[in-house]
Amino acid sequence: ICISTSSKLLMLGFFFCFPEIHGISFRIQISAKEVLDTDVLLKLLFHLPVNYPSTLPDISVNSDQLTRAQCMDVKEKLLEQAKKHLSEPMVHDLILWVQQHLKEVIKQSATVCNEKTTLSKGTEDGIWMLLLHLDHMRAKAKYVKTVEKWASSLRLTGRLMFMGKIILILLQGDRSSIKEYLILQKTSKVDVDSSGKKCKEKMMRVLCETEVQSQHKRFQTFEVKEYSAPEELQKEFETAGLTTLFSEFVPPLLK
């Protein structure tokens, strides 16, 4: 089997194939842009039956940076495109298509997910709050910029708080956006390791994830703030009606 590599993006991946009794299978890894313009590595597995292209290929989609549901949505969209190219070679066109339209697929996936959640869970999609603890930031400036970008894109408000060695992220917003933020935080390369190589956040802890109550004050913006003493940090929580949240989760970090 032969696939053109005229596209520079295709050259980012690897390609191999092996014969099978009932056709040919091959795997390719490509790079594409997702909603926040972050590079996503997609691992595509194609199985071409013996009567391809008169018969549609089987397609499998995997990515460490996407959820299983998102991978399934990408697969479904690729199969829809494949039907448009039935009886003609299509693999190259399918690869180019997913590189150009991954953003749209992920956006549509999020919209459908939100609609289903609203119908099935009712008030569960109210305003939620998330408190995260980060162990460290080596590439602080870049890390902070990334967190600000995510919060803005997902319409989340709150604080990125620094007090000595303590780093906390407090977010408020739609539950679906909170969930999406957690996925980004866990799967994106947001920092660098001791050798300066980009790495994912492996030492993040979710301290609290709960629905915002009537006594809680809503943050109007997302801000990055530094505090020189625990009392200043405590006052930030108290002002937002989050005294209990502070008392439960922050003092252990000060020890």
How do residues 154-182 score in pLDDT, each as one tens digit? 999 999 999 999 999 999 999 889 999 99
Are 187 and 181 contacting, i.e. CB atoms less than 8 angstroms apart? Answer: no
Q: Would you state the structure tokens that stand for residue 168, as one six-digit string? A: 């906390």
Stretches in the chain below the pLDDT threshold 50: 1-20, 111-124
Provide the pLDDT for residue 17. 45
Instruction: Report how far Cα 34 is from the mean position of its chain's Cα atoms.
Output: 9
Provide the pLDDT for residue 58. 87
Are 71 and 63 contacting, i.e. CB atoms less than 8 angstroms apart? Answer: yes
What are the distances in angstroms from CA 12 to CA 5, 42, 65, 227, 247?
10, 11, 17, 44, 49
CA 60-64-173 angle, to 5 degrees, is: 115
Provide the pLDDT for residue 109. 62
Provide the pLDDT for residue 22. 60
Provide the pLDDT for residue 151. 94
Task: Sort residue 229 into left (φ over 0), alpha (ψ -120 to 50) or beta.
Answer: beta
Domains of the chain: 24-111 (3.10.110.10), 127-253 (3.30.70.100)
Provide the pLDDT for residue 117. 40
Provide the pLDDT for residue 47. 86
Residue showing tokens 């292209």: 53
pLDDT digits (tens, 9 = 90+) for 54-88: 988 888 888 888 877 788 889 889 999 999 999 99
Across 226-245, b (16+ Cβ under 10 Å) vs e yields ebeebeebbebbeebebeeb
Are 122 and 175 contacting, i.e. CB atoms less than 8 angstroms apart? Answer: no
Provide the pLDDT for residue 66. 80
Residue showing tokens 């039935």: 86
